[in-house]
Amino acid sequence: MMPVFDRIFYNSFIKTMETVAQSPSMELVNGRYQIQGIDMLELVEAYGAPLFVYDAGKIAEKYQQMTEAFHGLNCRIKYPVKALSNINILKLFRKLGAGLDTVSIQEVRLGLKAGFEPHEMIYTPNCVSFDEIKEAVKLGVVINIDNISILEQFGHEYGDSIPCCIRFNPHISAGGNSKIKTGHIDSKFGISVYQQRHVQRIIKANNIRVHGLHVHTGSDILDARSYSQSAAILFDLAHEFPQLQFIDFGSGFKVPYKPGDVFTDVYEIGEELRQAYQLFTKEYGREIEVWFEPGKYMVSEAGFFLMRSNVIKPTPATVFVGVDSGLNHFIRPMMYGGHHEIFNVSNPGGIQRIYTVVGYICETDTFGWDRKISEVREGDILALRNAGAYGYSMSSNYNSRLRPAEVMIINGEAKLIRKRETFDDLLRSQVEVEL
């Protein structure tokens, strides 16, 4: 149950946006694509292209679905900052009642800047120095430890004065392709469940107070049984830790990337876990909180990436559409093989033709092969769906290209939440020396 203030705000927020939240984020109205009544081509005229656009109403809708699906679980939602880290998005999640999942000390500081209390944030780094762990302790966030070396150092430094969470690797191979699976035996994430006895010896020797357990098996998980397996492992482990306040199941829920695509049924997972949780609490003797960290699920469908077509380039085998962006702005298709639907905002009624959409980076940076898109002309604006998660947050200045602007649409109003970079931004941290 979220705090009373947050619940009142949340109900009010949802009410003001319910007509938007119950419909697709971007709709075709009288031949023009809109989000909450805001015309996309007019947005490009105002802020330029390429441009990231986020629908706050869709984010609110997804948060509501999570709270509904996991009711009865004493559930807390911790939004992963790495998915979309703009401070205004973080402020939105704070108003909705979420906490934060952070993976770096910089994300911790960003969360504090956005108004989160330290206890509302869990810090789950990977392969960082112990100095960064100590800095996070000073800031007061929940510390999540994922390797034995750091656990030993933590015990030597703090004993039972500072509690911690432990991230276990359950050795469950769940999710999509190998690059987004994190719970298998060769993963760098977490302490193996088979090292549990070693962990217990370290805890006992250093009098470490463990108040949380954590697993995250991967992304694009469809099968509720994966969560049931994780639950069985964690609930079994929990009996070895009598001071627990929470168990964190991570996330990895799959979202639909194309029409008819499969996606995670969070309500089914909620039902599966409710039954296991009720049995566990009877055995454990008291209720503890259940945490989830849905990043892609919360923001992916809320985001669109608008790009301008620079050139139409026919070859003997392919018709390329070259756009004013590339892997420097949106790397998921190239890094993970992620599929993102592409459509023509400027010419929605045009004849469907087959194109391969590519970027302007001096590398292979293909957004989509052999896509059926309404006829594209040079200068048309194309939109890429599911651009809310791991888009801008994974962008770079490769080829000395500038990062785009970001706009959030909330309550029928478009708000600029990040300016487009300038050439001066490229040089800001560089120091010229005499040669």
Phi, psi of 140 (to 5 degrees): 90, 15
Q: Say what angle helices 148-158 and 130-139 make with each other, to 10 degrees.
A: 50
**Which residues is 353 bridged to in the sheet?**
373
Positive or negative torsion for Cα 131, 135, 137, 138: positive
How far is C-alpha 4 from the chain's CA centre? Answer: 26
Please check whether residue 320 is in contact with residue 355, taking contact to mean a CB–CB distance below 8 angstroms: yes
Residue 422 burial (CB count, 10 A): 10
Residue 235 burial (CB count, 10 A): 19
User: Residue 48: which of 419, 434, 423 has the closest Cα?
Assistant: 419
Between CA 44 and CA 404 the distance in angstroms is 11
Characterise 380 by phi-psi region: left (phi > 0), alpha (psi -120 to 50), beta (else): beta
Three-state secondary structure readout of 168-206: EECCCCCCCCHHHECCCCCCCCCEEHHHHHHHHHHHHHH
Please say if 362 is a catalytic residue.
Answer: yes
Q: Which long-range contacts (CB under 8 A, 24 or more apart) does 167-171 make?
A: 167/124, 167/191, 167/214, 167/215, 167/216, 168/192, 168/193, 168/196, 168/213, 168/214, 168/215, 168/233, 168/234, 168/237, 169/193, 169/215, 170/215, 170/217, 170/229, 170/230, 170/233, 170/234
Between CA 299 and CA 281 the distance in angstroms is 32
Between CA 187 and CA 207 the distance in angstroms is 28
Phi, psi of 168 (to 5 degrees): -105, 145
Between CA 351 and CA 390 the distance in angstroms is 32
Question: Where are the strands (E) in 150-302, listed by range?
Answer: 164-169, 191-192, 210-214, 246-248, 289-292
Q: Where are the alpha helices (DSSP H) in 51-147?
A: 56-69, 87-96, 105-113, 130-139
Please check whether residue 163 is in contact with residue 241, taking contact to mean a CB–CB distance below 8 angstroms: no
What are the residue numbers of the active site? 362
